[in-house]
Amino acid sequence: MIFRSPDSDPPPTTNHRRHGVPVDPSRTPQRPKSTFLYATGTFLGSFGLVAAILCTLAWISVSGAQNDKNTTADNNQLQLKYPRVTILKSARQLMVFEGDSLMRVYPIRLGSSPVGQKLRSGDGRTPEGVFRVVTKRVDSPNHRFLGISYPDVSAANRGLADGLISRGEALAIEIAQQQHICPSWTTALGGGIGIHGDSGSPGPTAGCIGLSDAHVAELFDVLRIGDTVEILP
C-alpha cells in the first residue's frame, strides 16, 4: 500500500483514458467554456483584419488621387529647355515656342501708337525686329519685367542717318549688341522696352509689351538672359 500526503497530486484514474492510457485530467486541453465567446472573438478578429485592409485601400486611393493631382499640376507648368518668343503686333498675341512647338499664346497690350517701327523716344511705338532678353527684374512696378535689346544696330543706323544720335552713341549700341549686353536706354532712340505685367491696371503701354501678371510671371520663370524675342508687325 502506498501512502500519499494530502498535498500530493491525485493519482490518475481509470475514468480518464486516452487510447487505454490513464490521463491526468488537469493536464488535458480543455475546450472553451463558451462556444459563443469563442465565435465572437473569432468574428471580431476577422472584422479587425477587414477594417485594416479597407483603411489601407482608402489610404492608397487618397494618396493616388493626390499624386494624380500633383502630376496634373506639374504637367500644366511651363517647362522649356529652348524657349523663344514671337510677338505679332497686329494680332495682339505673344507666342511661346519650345523649338518649333507652340506652347503658349498670350494676349498682349501695346503702346498708344502700335502701328509701325519705333523711331524715337516717346513715339508710343513698339520696336520690330529680332531682339534678346538682356535684363530681368522681379521687383518691377509692373510685377515682372523682361528687358529686350532695343535699340539695336538697325535702330542705331536709322537714328544716325536721321541725326538723332551721334556716331559714338551708334558705336556703343553696336558693341553692346556684339557682346549681348544691354544697350544704352538714354539716347534719343528711346529704350527700356520689354515685356511686363499690368499690376492690376491694364491699359496702353509706353511701347512695351503688356501681359497679365499671371502670364508674365509664367514667362519670367522660363525665359533666360539671351533668349530670343522676335517682334513682327
Question: Any residues with CB less than 8 A from the CB of 23 and at least 6 apart, and which?
Answer: 12, 16, 17
Q: Which amino acid is at 55?
A: C
Residue 65 has pLDDT above 70, yes or no: no
Q: Is residue 4 part of a domain?
A: no
Indicate whether 105 and 212 sit together in one domain. yes
For a pLDDT cut of 70, what percent of the chain falls above it? 68
Q: Is residue 2 part of a domain?
A: no
For the residues 50-60, what does the mean pLDDT come to? Answer: 49
- List beta partners, residue 148: 133
Looking at residue 199, its pLDDT comes to 84
We report the CATH number of the domain holding residue 111 as: 2.40.440.10
Looking at residue 78, its pLDDT comes to 86
Indicate whether 210 and 152 sit together in one domain. yes
Give how many domains the chain has, as a whole number.
2
Q: Is residue 219 part of a domain?
A: yes
Residue 124 has pLDDT above 90, yes or no: yes
Helices (H) and strands (E) in the chain, counts: 4, 10
Collapsing DSSP to helix, strand or coil, 222 comes out as: helix
Indicate whether 107 and 208 sit together in one domain. yes
Element (DSSP H or E) covering residue 105:
strand 101-107
Torsion from C-alpha of 220, 201, 184, 82, nearest 10 degrees? 20
Of 60, 76, 92, which closes a domain? Answer: 76
- For the ranges 45-49, 61-65, 187-191, 203-207, the maximum mean pLDDT occurs at 187-191
164: confidence class by pLDDT, cuts 50, 70, 90: very high
Indicate whether 148 and 195 sit together in one domain. yes
Indicate whether 34 and 93 sit together in one domain. no
Indicate whether 91 and 134 sit together in one domain. yes
- Quote the domain boundaries for residue 60: 27-76
Rounded distance, CA 219 to CA 106, Å? Answer: 10
Indicate whether 130 and 190 sit together in one domain. yes
Report the predicted TM-score, pTM, of the whole model to 2 decimal places.
0.68
Q: Are 55 and 198 in contact (CB under 8 A)?
A: no
Residue 3 has pLDDT above 90, yes or no: no
Predicted confidence (pLDDT) per residue in 174-228, tens digit? 999 999 999 999 999 999 999 999 987 788 999 999 999 999 999 999 999 999 9
Q: Is residue 22 part of a domain?
A: no
Indicate whether 208 and 99 sit together in one domain. yes
Q: How many CA atoms lie within 13 A of 120 on its CB side?
A: 9
- For the ranges 1-5, 7-11, 109-113, the maximum mean pLDDT occurs at 109-113
Q: Is residue 12 part of a domain?
A: no
Of 41, 57, 76, which closes a domain? Answer: 76
For the residues 60-64, what does the mean pLDDT come to? Answer: 46
Indicate whether 53 and 139 sit together in one domain. no
- List beta partners, residue 145: 137, 196
Q: Are 222 and 94 in contact (CB under 8 A)?
A: no
The grid coordinates of residue 28 equal 488535458
Of 76, 101, 116, which closes a domain? Answer: 76
Q: Is residue 89 part of a domain?
A: yes
